[in-house]
Amino acid sequence: MSTRLALLLGALLLAACTTYGGGGPPDGRWQIREVGTTTVPDDVDAHIEFLPEGRLAGRAGCNRYTGSWARQGHDLRFGRIAATRMACAGAAMDIENRLFEMMDKVVRQDRPDARTLIMVTGDGRRIVATR
């Protein structure tokens, strides 16, 4: 193998490691900015808070929710989610429906930097959150 090829492969491996799952556990509160291809409007409160002992809480746009989460390496999974049942109209309800549908399918986290959390579903869709 040539030196140039070895350096290229090494650089690709390093790039993959730095953009996939770094940054440790997603402890604390994160403001959800994108759900799939939909940007969360500024007037819609959608957030997730990763609590100690694998618990989580948040607001999905309309309703509050609680549940559980587990992380191992880059893998991230959510357990059963329980939510209040207020009806809302418009963007808040749309964001909430999309968020709950996608949370059920999250399989990993990506932490490209300390202020960004990307939760990725098995089919590649993303929930993007920031601090």
Query: In CATH, what number is assigned to the domain containing residue 12?
Result: 2.40.128.270
Q: What is the mean pLDDT of each run of 10 residues along the chain (131 residues)?
A: 47 41 79 98 97 96 96 93 92 96 96 94 98 94
Q: Which residues, other chains included, contact 99 with Cβ-Cβ below 8 Å and sequence gap of 6+?
A: 32, 35, 46, 60, 61, 127
For residue 88, what are the domain limits? 3-130
**Is 0.75 surpassed by the pTM of this model?**
yes
In this predicted model, what pLDDT tens digit does every residue of 59-74 receive, in sequence order? 999 999 999 999 998 8
The number of domains in the chain is 1
